[in-house]
Amino acid sequence: MKGNRLPWPIDLAGFYWRRKIRGQSIPLLASFKVTHRCNLSCRACPFHLHADQNHMSRNAAVRALEDLRRLGTRIVVFEGGEPLLWRDDGYRLHDLVKYARRRFLRVAVTTNGTLPLDVPADTLWVSLDGWKETHDDLRCGSFDAVYSRLKETRHPRVFVHCTINRINCRDLEQLAEHVRSLPAVRGMTFQFFYPYGLGEDDLALAPEERRAAVETLLALKKKGYPVCQSSARLRAMINNRWRCHEDLLINVDPDGAITRGCYVKSRGTVNCDACGFTPVAEASGALDLMPGSLWAGWKLFLK
């Protein structure tokens, strides 16, 4: 199937027409795990524990991308494990990204930031889970390597992503202060640790800690720090009382399995009360035409 990536206004208009007018349950966002292999063994992540048996072939990846396209998916986010480690038959992630960019509205990559940040994705997220001491504790002493990559990259659309947990929840302002000084970084996004129960450390926030973290993020936004999520969706994460359109999501795992719905559905036990997935809250808000969520999507993928 030849690629025919449409201009984004036409593509998004078609998506909303099919969803809102014709009532079709087509997915917006694909979480595409090409591998569980990783060069780190971070305390919050269970996926590297399955690295030996889960690594996708190039043919399987292409089949999955074509399936996503036939289902109407608009955005693909490659992740892992560490997706930049993916190799198969002479191909690397850069080749998959180029293939996907001809077929989808936007293609993103989420990386731990220890490898060169030169993948030709539309958006590149780099994980930074606190300032040096905290990040090193959570992510295997990788801070210096990540910070160096962030300083040297020339990628045009880089964002720092932080998963908030009970260890780093007091580091948010210090982290934001330093990230703001990095010329290549366009902004920051945040989500909350989710307890998969698959061997990762227990890093879940207590309710009062989550509330305090959200209040800190809201205060940072008011001060002009580049927190990309909307205030309304951040507030909604305090008690997780927001309308979730899980049919916006579709997930690909390294064994080639494709699952519709919640990000956790094929990857752990679903517990909506513990949800920390702010991207899902924001995407759901965008489908409901909430202005803040639409603006957040514009900043992350289109601006």
Q: How confident is the model at residue 10 (pLDDT cuts 50, 70, 90)?
A: very high
**Distance of alpha carbon 251 from alpha carbon 266, whole angstroms:** 8
For residue 155, pLDDT beyond 70: yes
The topology under which CATH files domain 22-302 is TIM Barrel (3.20.20)
**pLDDT tens digits for range 35-49:** 999 999 999 998 877
**Distance of alpha carbon 148 from alpha carbon 144, whole angstroms:** 6
Query: Which tokens sit at 257?
Result: 């399995």
Domain limits, the chain: 22-302
For residue 3, pLDDT beyond 70: no
For residue 2, pLDDT beyond 60: no
For residue 74, pLDDT beyond 90: yes
What's the pLDDT at 1? 40
77 three-class SS: strand
Report, as an integer, the average pLDDT of 172-186: 95
How many Å separate Cα 162 from the centre of its chain? 10
pTM of the model: 0.95
DSSP H helices, 7-155, are 8-16, 58-70, 93-101, 132-138, 143-152
**Distance of alpha carbon 143 from alpha carbon 163, whole angstroms:** 15
List, in order, residues 6 or more apart from 150 with CB less than 8 Å away: 113, 117, 126, 128, 158, 160, 182, 184, 185
**Distance of alpha carbon 160 from alpha carbon 154, whole angstroms:** 14
What's the pLDDT at 41? 93
67 three-class SS: helix
Smallest Cα–Cα separation from 100: which of 71, 55, 124, 68? 68
**pLDDT tens digits for range 243-297:** 999 999 999 999 999 999 999 998 888 999 999 999 999 999 999 999 999 999 9
